[in-house]
Amino acid sequence: MTRQETIPFFAPDLFEADREVLLDLVRGIGTAAEQKFILGERTAAFEEALRATLGAADVVACSSGTSALTLVLTAMGVGPGDEVVVPAYGCAPLGNTVANLGAVPVLADIDPVTMVVDPAEVESAITGRTKAVMPAHMFSVMADMPRMRDIARRHGVRLVEDSAVAQGGMLDGRPAGTWGEAGVFSFVQVKTFGTAGEGGAVVTEDPELACLVRSLRNHGQEGQRFRHQRVGCNSRFDEVQAAFLLHRLPGFPERLERRARIADYYTERFTPLLERGVVPPPPGRNGRCFYVYSLLADERDALKEHLAAHGVASHVYYPLPLPHQPAFARFAPRGRRWPHAVAASRRQLAIPVNPHLTDAETEHIADTVCAFAEGRRST
């Protein structure tokens, strides 16, 4: 396979089969007499459909996964003087959403193999100022939510589940997003249940919390338009996106299963490479979400170049852990170390796992990784 035949990391044709449906939805909603583009009957129907698939008490759709985290933390009363324990390795919203409320993100190190936050590190970071702990599922592995629930219960702190990448994941028979007092999803196009744009949702079993989030997303209105019960924001959901996601929801299990089969195949091929410096995620499907298939490679940059030379695009996520980012330097105490987060930032490399990959492409990707590893000495 030549460079001109590169297998892309992000599939460019994710919505090609739905193109006509999407265009018809845009036209239908745009020309309807009611001219309802946000928070209409389609949004309500989507929230109910998603709630039914999760067995949750309530789902509140909003503008993005990041906004969902902010809405939840705001509804929980997180603010100045509070601390929220978050992973030291991951995307910026883990710290941004806390800091933007005037609270302090306390950065906890991660597990060296799964790259999810280490429960022991979370517990050791809890102080008398801790308001919440916010574990995040990473790549294709869910955080240890049973231990997180136990930690939150014993310490009397709130539990927010950042499940933005994990829709469709199951841990011990319980869906991602339903382990915490609230969970969040992201519908940006590359997520497992992505849309042709952006959106998010809050999932909760707490009716009072859901009511607060529903009000906050719409400028603090509750029950009656132009009557503002509290200071809110604009995090409303788009009717076109709601209709499109409703259209795609029945096909979600099939797309997720395709991702899972690809991941199973990769892990079977890559597990023998451990002694050659290439570490796959742990095998199995319990606690997996198949959003991104991420390797840990001792020679990450060399592997990335090797894949590119053989027509395979790959992707480095989070080349700096949060404590080493200038934006979060003030939350990194002098002398504190996060060795596993630092190691992950130097070793992580994601390979294609989207459901549009063919069997031949999947095999070529695996062959290319194996060929690279087999050319290295055992470590």
Please state whether beta strands 278-279 and 224-228 pair in parallel, antiparallel, or not at all (unpaired).
unpaired
Yes or no: say if 244 and 196 are a contact pair by the CB < 8 Å rule: yes
CA distances for 174 relative to 53, 60, 142, 159, 263, angstroms: 11, 19, 11, 16, 21
Contacts of 41 (CB under 8 A, 6+ apart): none
Yes or no: say if 178 and 168 are a contact pair by the CB < 8 Å rule: no
Q: What would you report as the CA-atom Rg of the chain, rounded to the nearest whole angstrom?
A: 21
* Nearest-angstrom CA–CA distance, 240 and 255: 21
What type of residue sits at position 332?
A
In this structure, what token pair is assigned to residue 291? 């959003």
Q: Is 215 helix (H, G, I), strand (E, B) or coil?
A: helix
CA distances for 132 relative to 56, 99, 103, 136, 234, angstroms: 21, 13, 11, 13, 24
Q: Could you say which DSSP state residue 230 is in?
A: S
Yes or no: say if 131 and 83 are a contact pair by the CB < 8 Å rule: yes
Q: Is 175 helix (H, G, I), strand (E, B) or coil?
A: strand
Checking 206-214 for CB contacts under 8 A at 24+ apart, the result is 206/57, 206/181, 206/182, 207/57, 207/58, 209/72, 209/75, 209/76, 209/181, 209/182, 210/57, 210/58, 210/60, 212/75, 213/60, 213/62, 213/71, 213/72, 213/75, 213/182, 214/60
Q: What positions carry a catalytic annotation?
A: 191
Yes or no: say if 181 and 209 are a contact pair by the CB < 8 Å rule: yes
Please state whether beta strands 182-186 and 200-204 pair in parallel, antiparallel, or not at all (unpaired).
antiparallel
